[in-house]
Structure 1
Amino acid sequence: MWSSELVEVNQSNFVTKSNRLIEANYKLGAIEQKIILCLASNIQPTDSDFKTYTLPIKEFTSLLGVKGQHKYSDLKRITKELMQKVFEVRIDKKVIQVAWLSYVAYNESEGTIDIRFDPFLRPYLLELKREFTSYKLENVVQLKSTYAIRIYELLKQYEKIQERTFSLSELRRLLGAEDIYPAYGNFKQRVLMPAQKELENKTDISFDLEEIKKGRKVTKVKFIIHSVTKSKEEQLRLFEENLDEFKLANSFTNRVKKLGLLMGVTITDEMIQTWEKYGQENVLLLMEKLQYRNDVENPIGYITTVLKASKASEESQVELVSQDQMMLPYLISYFKRSKEPMADWFIADEAVKELQKHYSMELDKAVAKFEEIKEELFKELGVTVPVTKSKEEIEHQQQEIEELLKQLRLEKTV
């Protein structure tokens, strides 16, 4: 039987979430997010399993900002819809979709609500030892915009690093805003600027925005993150007391080490010096890009491989962390997971399929890309480079496989 605990609705409680959960793909409304965060704020560091949290409905609706004479029925509708929503997280080669909540009950005679997290969320909210972010619940409950809440968490994660850069496509994905305000100007005015105002007025961080352009087009945005202190005097005192730390925080070495810790690895000074010759900006952009990846088992080796393959130059700084540069290291990591020997034809076919699947490439482009990198790929895997197959041969082979699968399916239905 699950344990139940009556809890107070307390804005001073801390929310502690795994960074992987913060980076997960999901779209929730502002009230739905606040429900999840309010529950998370009641988890204690000593908890080894989820409890059924019982909250007073009156205080709960007040905290969530649910108002009006129909607030109880509105809350029932909101929790019902929330139970039908999922978040998506990638683990190795699996994309897992999981509901946030497993149980909601309204105790009408007592004026309380029982809520329980889905068990799958355990590793993202319980007994966290590393790669997590904590903040006070009071920093998000006053926010009106769902985008402001998401941006707050994404930036709070990087508060000590003091900046974070996103490509526009990545930022839209993380905010669940892929299909709205397609023009950057509208996206900035309707999503980014209101969030900037809300965070500055209502939370413990604020940000400035820098636009990174390719030609005339904005392709990336850099958030410069500021910690909000209670007074200028306190800010000056903290600065004077921690002057050396402030200097170190802005150094390239320290920023690399902090990004490494977010990935769960410790990076030595010697390794950082080796990377630095490829350009500090290149290294930082690549490491920020890796924050979205959980299929890389050896981040240090991966970064080294990408930097070497890039042959960093002033002309290739922007392309360094593009998908194109990621493909060879990704395939090396993909095939090295298997300890079994693999035939060259199997590697070739699997590589083309994986490029199509993982990078959403058309067949002809995947084949062309494989032809570019196959020599280095086979060399890394210790396989003799095979005789090149033509595009027509690969297409023909794939058609044969598809026909065979179709035939097998038909036989199953007979």
Structure 2
Amino acid sequence: MAENPKTKAVKFIRKSNNLVEGRFRFDIWEMRIFVKMLTIIHRDDEDFKRYRIYLKEIISEFELEKNNRSYEELKKGAEKLASREIRIPMLSPKGEAMELFTHIVSGAKSFVDSKQGKYIEVDFHPDMKPYLLQLQTKFLMYDVRNVLKLPSSFSIRIYELLKQYETIGKRKMNVEEIKEMLDIKDKYSLYANLKQRVIIKAQMDLEAFTDIKFTFEEVKRGKSVEEIVFYIFKNADVIDKREGNTEVVIEYQLTEKDVTATQIYNLIKQYKGSSKLTVESWVNTYPVEHIINRINFVKNQINVGKVIKNPMGLLQKMMIESNLFDPIQEEIELQEQNIQKAKQVQESKQNQISKEKQLQQAKEKYEQNKTELMRSLFETNPGLAKDFLLDFKTKRNLPDAPFIIQLAYDHYTTNINGILPESKDEIMYNYNLGGSFSALLTEWFENNFSREMTTLRNDFE
């Protein structure tokens, strides 16, 4: 990384991923000072130096207006930066989730009279060393040209948060986590405002000025948007327009198998079903703090004597929840819900059985009434049996007699003990045997006594 501002060498920004994930909010002038400071750090520096920043360089690099306002705003930005605080997620030596609360800059010097000097001097706070110096693993590195033209500090933060995951291609973030990282819980209480003024604004800014662009998908629970899935792509339109028409290859450390995944796996490897692959998927999906908080919660529950039969199953369930919950109470509530569901299912089955029984009884009653109606019609119409049998035989003797008539005729039983041939009793005897003849006789009555049969069927329905 070149430190001489007069050279045309590409300048890189390097910062740890934990710093990228930190909770802080800069205005755009503070962010410009901070970005400039990062470009001056050399990758081999073992300690911070006092960094002298010439305001005309910032104005030139960020393509700002060359007027007194720009000088005054940059000077104020440096002064505000000196009082700005940041919260950075971290792990203790034992792998416990912690948070560093510190200043970013320990001091800033500027001229009282802007006519006397055109530079400021800034010192990084010593607590920032692990996040900016001698970075070997889990760091983000990118071409500073990607943020020089971004007009919003939020767009710069969104760029860095997505640039970390460029090789993975997507990043899922909880809406509340985004607000926390950008320190804007008090600023955008409504999601619609956050979407329009931060997410969509960043989407337009990144596509116009940076080497990546993104689309996003909203994940709802009920009517509320709780998570956003960002899909990250190379922005060839910007890359191709840069000097030399080539992309600068940036290697930064965020892989599926890294130091953090190993540390987290060591915390849970005693649990049945745990695996390095599972932990790596967590690291690729959730912030480290999110993962560690849930692991510590489960461990504490076990330590106080709570019986958790499947810690890994519980952890998997807790990972997808945006808020930390009490697994024991959750289990009790789930059991109660299951009992209520079982009762409802049993009641539903009993109701269904009762309905089916009623329907069967109704069908039997309908068949009984239909049989009685046919007998009654035969009795009140003395020649009806002979009319039916004549019609039956005539249709059977036709060359193209329907198959059902052939089948019914061939299976029609005669010479029944105690029953007169070709009588209504013989017909009803065959009807009660069921099969094709029963269906044929029903159809004949419906055609010839449609009013009576329709009334019976309507009563049944």
Select the residue among 181, 192, 200 that pairs with 2:188. 181
Aligned partners of 1:119, 1:195: CA distance in 2, in Å? 31
Is the alpha carbon distance of 1:290 and 1:102 closer, same or farther for their aligned partners in structure 2, counting shifts above 3 Å?
closer
The alignment covers a number of residue pairs equal to 295
Aligned partners of 1:104, 1:233: CA distance in 2, in Å? 38
Select the residue among 91, 110, 120 that pairs with 1:113. 120
Cα RMSD of the aligned pairs, angstroms, is 4.2
Is 1:226 the counterpart of 2:233? The answer is: yes
Aligned partners of 1:198, 1:54: CA distance in 2, in Å? 29
Structure 1 residue aligned with 2:443: none
Is the alpha carbon distance of 1:227 and 1:131 closer, same or farther for their aligned partners in structure 2, counting shifts above 3 Å?
same
Code of the residue aligned with 1:34 in structure 2: it is: R
Alignment of 1:49-88 (within 5 A): 49-64=47-62, 66-67=64-65, 68-88=67-87
- Aligned-pair distance for 1:157? 0.6
**TM-score, normalization: structure 2?**
0.54
- Aligned-pair distance for 1:275? 6.3
Residue ranges of structure 1 left out of the alignment (5+ in a row): 235-256, 329-367, 373-414
Is the alpha carbon distance of 1:155 and 1:233 closer, same or farther for their aligned partners in structure 2, counting shifts above 3 Å?
closer
Code of the residue aligned with 1:25 in structure 2: it is: R
- Aligned-pair distance for 1:167? 1.1
Select the residue among 101, 108, 112 that pairs with 1:97. 101
- Does the 8 Å CA contact 1:61/1:75 hold for their aligned counterparts? no
Select the residue among 291, 304, 317 that pairs with 2:288. 291
- Does the 8 Å CA contact 1:102/1:116 hold for their aligned counterparts? yes
- Does the 8 Å CA contact 1:9/1:60 hold for their aligned counterparts? no
Aligned partners of 1:141, 1:202: CA distance in 2, in Å? 8
- Quote the sequence identity (%): 27
Code of the residue aligned with 2:142 in structure 1: it is: Y
Alignment of 1:372-387 (within 5 A): none
CA displacement 1:83-106 (0-9 Å, x = unmatched): 111111244475432222123223
- Does the 8 Å CA contact 1:164/1:222 hold for their aligned counterparts? yes
Is the alpha carbon distance of 1:9 and 1:298 closer, same or farther for their aligned partners in structure 2, counting shifts above 3 Å?
farther
**TM-score, normalization: structure 1?**
0.60
- Aligned-pair distance for 1:55? 2.7
Alignment of 1:101-250 (within 5 A): 101-106=105-110, 109=116, 111-229=118-236
Is the alpha carbon distance of 1:15 and 1:47 closer, same or farther for their aligned partners in structure 2, counting shifts above 3 Å?
same
Is the alpha carbon distance of 1:183 and 1:109 closer, same or farther for their aligned partners in structure 2, counting shifts above 3 Å?
closer
3-state SS in 2 of match to 1:263: helix
Higher Cα Rg, which structure: 2
Code of the residue aligned with 1:88 in structure 2: it is: R
Is the alpha carbon distance of 1:75 and 1:266 closer, same or farther for their aligned partners in structure 2, counting shifts above 3 Å?
closer
Aligned partners of 1:27, 1:163: CA distance in 2, in Å? 24
- Aligned-pair distance for 1:125? 0.3
Aligned partners of 2:188, 2:42: CA distance in 1, in Å? 40
Residue ranges of structure 2 left out of the alignment (5+ in a row): 242-253, 303-307, 333-461
Structure 1 residue aligned with 2:382: none
Aligned partners of 2:293, 2:99: CA distance in 1, in Å? 15
- Does the 8 Å CA contact 1:131/1:264 hold for their aligned counterparts? no
Aligned partners of 2:292, 2:314: CA distance in 1, in Å? 24
- Aligned-pair distance for 1:136? 0.8
3-state SS in 2 of match to 1:143: coil
Code of the residue aligned with 1:127 in structure 2: it is: Q
Code of the residue aligned with 2:182 in structure 1: it is: L
Aligned partners of 2:240, 2:49: CA distance in 1, in Å? 43
Aligned partners of 2:239, 2:85: CA distance in 1, in Å? 43
- Does the 8 Å CA contact 2:18/2:89 hold for their aligned counterparts? no
Code of the residue aligned with 1:200 in structure 2: it is: E
3-state SS in 2 of match to 1:89: strand
CA displacement 1:151-190 (0-9 Å, x = unmatched): 0010011111110001111111112221233222222112
- Aligned-pair distance for 1:21? 0.5
Is the alpha carbon distance of 1:159 and 1:6 closer, same or farther for their aligned partners in structure 2, counting shifts above 3 Å?
closer
Structure 2 residue aligned with 1:263: 260
Is the alpha carbon distance of 1:264 and 1:39 closer, same or farther for their aligned partners in structure 2, counting shifts above 3 Å?
farther
- Aligned-pair distance for 1:203? 0.3
Aligned partners of 1:88, 1:186: CA distance in 2, in Å? 25
